[in-house]
Every structure is written in structure tokens, then in C-alpha cells.
Structure 1
Amino acid sequence: MVSPPHEAMHRIFQHDPGLFSRVSRFLGVDIPTPVKATALPTDLTETNPVERRVDTLLRLETADRGPFLLAVEAQGKKHPDKPASWAYYTAYLWTKYRLPTALLVVCQDHATARWAQQPVSCGPPQLPTLTVQPLVAGPHNMPVITDPEEARADLVLASLAAITHAAEPDVGAILKALSTALRDAPEDIAKPLIEFTAQGLAKRPAKNLWRNLVAVDLSFYKSYLAEEVRKEVRKEVRDEVRDEVRDEVRDEVRKEVQDEALTQGEARRAAADVLAVLAERGLTVSEAVRERIGSCDDPEILSRWLRRAVTASTAEEVVAGA
């Protein structure tokens, strides 16, 4: 299943094909800025039923070195079958288009990046025949852009920096710099970068930070992400109100229970006082009268009975007429 980070890591190069030449300087190679770029079909399926697709495929043309193909693969984790697939991609593209073919693998963690950049040969050790060693962009070599001015100078690179550093400690500062830089950007420029960044962060904790930054720093901006943030804020407010109401109801119920318990306690004590006075005076108390006094839960009536018990001739007079 294709994940949002996977899509963001390669589609950002479709969005700005010139990004590769700017990224290349961090990878130790010098790729001229293309004067023309064409997105090519990514389907590498042959006549057999095996389907093979590269993530992003671009035909880049430079002023002094001629055209070449760039295949971009997003790699979220190590996979033993991938080097063979990459070898197939590059060989097939070279054969089909008769153009030099470069392979760029974009990663979000150091372990996957180290694995991806190791050369893999399809032949035995003494006969390497075809060796695949892609360029790899990841947290180990992508710039940490924490200055809004630096981010403003290359917004797409700053977005890629945020995506590749999604799990790194510096991602918060990168995201803040990017959101600050995007304040002044036209909506048609800001919109795809905001959403590429959101996709690239996926379910990582940094996505919540990015959502908050979008909601605060880019409150003017309207996109699915901003609307999603607003919906969640509204839901949180509704939940808070509901919780407050629930707390109020719970407090009222608790008070009612406490009051009821207090009233019942007072009634029991008052009934006991009435019976004690009658016993102290030596008056006979029938079971019916005792039951009536003991079952009364009205403190006012019991208080009246207590006063009567002091002067009444019989226990029946105490409860007569309530």
C-alpha cells in the first residue's frame, strides 16, 4: 500500500524537476540546472504480465551535457528485492530511451539510507557485470534549514528537508522556518508545498506540529489540511464543552447524592432521638409507631415529633396528624 510519505518523497521532484540539480550538490555530484524537463510514463511493464513501475521518471535536459533520465524512488525501509528492481529499472530505461539514466533514492531514516547507497552487483564477485549504486538523499545529507530566509530562498528544497528529517530532532525548527517562509508565498506556490510536507510527515509526531503551524502561521491559507485542522479544533471545542457539561452534571449529581446522604443521615439521627426520648420517659412504643418513626426521612417532621415526645402522654400522640 502506497503511503503519503512515499508519494511526497518522489512527487516533489515532479513538482519541481530542477530540484534534483540543487539536491545533487549535497550528494557529492554536480548536475547542471535543467533547461527543460518532461515527465515520462512510469509504467515499465513489458509484454509479460509482471508489472513494474518506477515512482517518478523525468527527462531532464541541460545546456552543456545533454538530456538524461532521472528515476526517483521513495524508500521507507530496507527491502532485499529492491536492488534487483532498481537494476531492472535503470537497464530497461537505458534500453528503451537510449539515454543515460540516473537513479535517486529518497529516505527518511539513516539505516535505510546507508543500506540503499551500498553498491549491489548482479554478477559473482569476480564478474560484477552490472552494478547498481543509486544516489541517496536522506537525513544524513539533506540540509537542516532552520533559517526562514534560507527556506524562502528555496521553498521546495526546504520542504524536502522537512520530509527527509521527519524523524529527526531538528524537524521542528525546519518546519517553523518553512511555515514562516511560506507566509509571503503566493497560494499557488504555498499550496502544494504545504500538502507535500503534510504527506511526508504522515503519522509522525511532527505532523501535529506542522498542522498547528499551518493553522497559526498560514491561517489565511485554505486547503484540505487547513480545513482538517479547523475541523479538529471545532471538534476539540465541542468535546471541551461536552466535557464541561458532563462535569457540571456529574458535580450536580454528586451534590445531590451527598445532600441525599446527609439528609438520610440526619433523618436517622432524628428518628433515633425521638425514640430515645420516648424510651427515657418510659412510654410504650408499638411496632407500628416505631416503624413510622424509623421510616420517616423528613427532618422537619422528625423535629416536630421530637418536641412532642417531650410532653406527649403516649407514643401515638407524637405521630398523630404528622
Structure 2
Amino acid sequence: MVSSSHEALHRIFQQEPGLFSRVARHLGVAFPPPLSASELSTDLTETRPLERRVDTLLRMDTEDGSFVLAVESQSAPSAHKPASWAYYLSHVYAKYGVPPVLLVVCPDRKTAAWAAQQFDIGPRQWPSLTLRPLVLGPNDVPVIDSPDEAARDIPLTILSAALHRCEPEADAILNALAKALKSLSADDEITAGTFIELTEQGLGTSQAADLWRHLMAVDLSFFQSQTAQKLRQEGREEGREEGRAEGQANALLLLLHHRGVEVTEGDRERIESCDDLDVLDLWLTRAIAATSMAEVFAAGGETSSTAD
């Protein structure tokens, strides 16, 4: 089962593709920042019934050309992984015709040291293939414990917190990150919500996760309340033109889209057909923190159409 902390270590590169060129400098490799980046399908399954999926796959277009960045989150050494990684890179190159780069993000030093070695695939006398991953571990990402520095690069600070989550520096990183998020403008509230969620996922079940939840409850609770108020207001302003219920429904769907919550056609129809402003208001409030439509519709006898 894929863990939330596993997800955060590669999803941060989906949220901020330019982070790759910045962290690569810590590995002694200079990649130009992307002029654009687009997500590619992570499904590398062949026609035969064998499913292979890379964690994150991004096409990066830079002034020096294009490459495909495959990001893998690896929590422990695994004997079969080098062969899988070699397959991913070969398949990506054959499918897209663009040079691939493998970045392995590891939350502990032992796994990072294992992943950083050169993997020769083939007989000792003549290896047919050499795999050289770029590896990010706790030693490769700086401890960011200054709010000013954190504010300059929030995605890098999130990665720093995730990779140092079990170390004494974790508390200082999280305090700096909380202050940096608090300085974001009202227009950045939905982005802030994504950053808050990624940070919590990246911390996993570590003690630092408890501190983060406390910081969110005490220092950043205004994000949820302000976001709710803002979306309600947007919904009601739009409602004066198109009908208040329709405006609320549109605001709810917009929030779900930004948070990446999967909405089925049945869910969409249920939202758009609801004319009870109190119910829509309740769903809107729940959607701020929900990770599924079941959570949005649940309680009080409400159940998602996806569960029917």
C-alpha cells in the first residue's frame, strides 16, 4: 500500500517542476530551469497483463532542450528496483523519444546511499546497461529553518521537512514553513492548502507530524475559515446572476478541482441539481479538507454516489 509520505516525496515535483533544477545543484548537476513542464501519463504498462507505474513523470522543456524526468519515492533498499527503473527509462525513451532522467527521493540516509550507487545490469565482463540515478536524501537537501528563506522557496522547504522529519532540525523547519505560509496573500489560499496537505503527507507518522498538526490548528486555521468565506462570497456573487444555488455549486466544483478530489459524473450531477443552500454550504465547508467525495457527502445520512 502506498503511503502518504511516499506520495508527497514525488508529488512536490508535480506541484513545482522547477524544484528539480534547484535541488539538482545540491547533487553537483546543473539542469536549466524549465521554461514549461507538462505531466505525462505515469502508466508504463505493456499490452501484456503486466502493470508498471512510475511515481511521477514530467516532460521538462528548457532552453537547452527537453528531457523526461521520472521521480521515484523510495523508502527502503529493494533488490528488484534497479531492473524496474531501467525498464521505466527505456520505455519512456522508446515511447516519447526524449532523453530520460531518474530522480530517486529517499527519506533516510541508508536508502539514499543504496540508491546512489551505480547499477550495472549484465554480466560482470561486459555490463549491457548502467543505471545512474540522481538521488536526493537528507544529506542533499539543506535544513531550512529561517522563515525568510522558507518564504523564498516553499516547495524546497516542504521537501526539507519531509527528508529531515525524524531529525532534531524538523521542528525548526516546520516553524519556519508555518510562518512562510502565513505570509501568503489571500489569493494564494488554495495553493497554501495544497502545500499544507503535502507537508502533512511528507511527515508521515513521525513525531514532527504532530507538531505540524498543532501549528496548523493554532497558527493557520484562518486559511480554512478565510477560504470558506471567500468561496461562499464568490458563490453568492455569482448566484445573484445565475441563481444562488448554481453559484454555490460552481464554487464547490472549483474548489474540488483545485484540491484534486475526483468528481464522478454522478457527483457532479448531484451537486449541480442541489438547490438547498444550507446543504451546499455544508459540502463547501467539508470540501476544504476532504480527500474524497465520500467525505464531502458523508454524515447526516449523506453518502456519495460513488459508493452506491
Q: TM-score, normalised by structure 2?
A: 0.71
Structure 1 portions without partners, runs of 5+: 226-322
Match of 2:33 in 1: 33
2:125 and 2:91 map into 1 onto residues whose CA distance is 24
- The aligned counterpart of 1:57 is 57
**Structure 2 residue 135 is matched with structure 1 residue 133:** no
Q: 1:188 aligns with which of 190, 199, 202?
A: 190
Instruction: Give matches, 1:219-238, under 5 Å.
Output: 219-222=221-224, 223-224=288-289
Q: Which residue of 2 aligns with 1:23?
A: 23
Q: Distance in 2 between matches of 1:110 and 1:183?
A: 31
Structure 2: how far apart are the matches of 1:94 and 1:131?
15
Identity %: 54
Aligned-pair CA distance for 1:202: 1.3
The separation in 2 between residues aligned to 1:216 and 1:56, in whole angstroms, is 33
Give the deviation of 1:188 after TM superposition: 2.2
Partner of 2:211: 209
Select the residue among 198, 201, 205 that pairs with 1:199. 201
Match in the other structure for 1:73: 72
> Secondary structure of 1:60's partner?
strand
Q: Distance in 2 between matches of 1:109 and 1:84?
A: 22
Q: CA deviation at 1:101?
A: 0.3
SS in 2 for 1:210: helix
Unaligned runs of 5+ in 2: 225-287, 291-308
Asked if 1:119 corresponds to 2:118, the answer is yes
**Distance in 1, Cα, partners of 2:76 & 2:166:** 13
Q: Deviations over 1:53-88 (max 9, x none)?
A: 00000000001x111000000011111111110010
1: CA distance, partners of 2:90 / 2:129: 9
1:7 maps to 7
> Matched residue of 2:168: which SS?
coil
The AA in structure 1 aligned to 2:212 is W
Q: Distance in 1 between matches of 2:221 and 2:49?
A: 49
Show CA shifts across 1:100-136 (max 9, x none).
Answer: 1000001100000000111111112221221112101
1:91 maps to 90
TM-superposed deviation, 1:138: 1.3
The structure with more radius of gyration: 1
Aligned-pair distance for 1:91?
0.9
Deviation at 1:190, TM superposition (A): 1.1
Partners in 1 of 2:30 and 2:191 — Cα distance? Answer: 27
CA distance in 1, matches of 2:221, 2:8: 23
**Counterpart AA for 2:87:** Y
Two-structure CA RMSD over aligned residues (Å): 1.1
- Are 1:108 and 1:167, in contact at CA under 8 Å, matched by a contact in 2? no
The residue number in structure 2 matching 1:42 is 42
Cα distance in structure 1, aligned partners of 2:79 and 2:109: 17
Amino acid at match of 1:199: Q
Which whole-Å CA distance do the structure 1 matches of 2:177 and 2:22 have between them?
17
Given that residues 13 and 20 in structure 1 are in contact (C-alpha distance below 8 angstroms), is that contact kept between their aligned partners in structure 2?
yes
Q: Work out the CA distance in 1 between the residues paired with 2:32 and 2:124.
A: 34
**d(CA) in 2 for partners of 1:176 and 1:126?**
53
Letter of the 1:162 counterpart:
A
Hey, what's the Cα distance between the residues in 1 that align with 2:70 and 2:146? Answer: 30
Deviations 1:300-322, CA, capped at 9 Å, x for gaps: xxxxxxxxxxxxxxxxxxxxxxx
Describe the superposition over 1:149-171 as per-residue Cα deviations: whole angstroms up to 9, x where unpaired: 00000011111111111112211
Instruction: Give the structure 2 partner of residue 244 of structure 1.
Output: none
- Secondary structure (helix, strand or coil) at the match of 1:224 reads coil
CA distance, structure 2, for counterparts of residue 128 and residue 175 of structure 1:
45
One-letter code aligned to 2:194: P
2:173 & 2:81 partners in 1: Cα distance? 30
